[in-house]
Amino acid sequence: MAKVAVLMVEGYEESETMQIVDLLRRAGAECHTFRFQDDEWVRSMQGMYVRSDRRFGPEVLGYDAVIVPGGRTAAAPLIANDEVMDVLRQMDEAGKLVCGMCSGTTVLEAAGVLAGKRATGYTGYAEKLTSADFVADEVAVWDANVVTSQGPATPYPFAFKVMEALGLDPEPMRESTLYRKAGGR
């Protein structure tokens, strides 16, 4: 069973985070949320509190994938956290899946894991993701061991790309969520 770590720092984007976690768990991945504070309840961008599963630490290195969701104020504290930067670099060097959406892509950029890879991000992020081959016209991009996505409207295509990268078949999920019927690609 694939193990996925999802980072939850205060200010994370709740719709991105919770939808991704839900979809990956329903697809059969063992998915845990990781906080950076003692209190297990983490405040989101919109002020909602969601209980996290675990406190961030070296344990994340034992996972198959790490996901950095967005949130207007979430990227800066993650970029400033040397332990987060080290974990992202080590996972990348080990060929493990490193994923980010919206402002989470800037965290991957700061860690150096986007260098030379195709990636996408939020509108205007071509100027922020300078080490990547920025792809503006795809909502979710998978290149080697990196999956990126544009923003709050893209958790489904992002989660489906992560599933594919983990060897999980996203088709049943696409059908059960009426994704295709709604016009998703």
Cα of 88 vs its chain's centroid, Å: 12
To the query of whether residue 99 is one of the catalytic residues in this protein, the response is no
Closest CA to 137 of 160, 117, 120, 157: 120
Nearest alpha-carbon partner for 16 in 6, 4, 1, 2: 6
Closest Cα to residue 54, out of 32, 70, 69?
32
Structure tokens at 136: 């503006």
User: CB under 8 Å to 80, separation ≥6 — which residues?
Assistant: none
Residue of 166, 137, 164 whose CA lies nearest to 150: 137
- The three-state secondary structure class of 32 is strand
Catalytic residue among 4, 102, 111, 129: 102
Pairing of strands 133-134, 118-119: parallel
Positions annotated as catalytic residues are 102
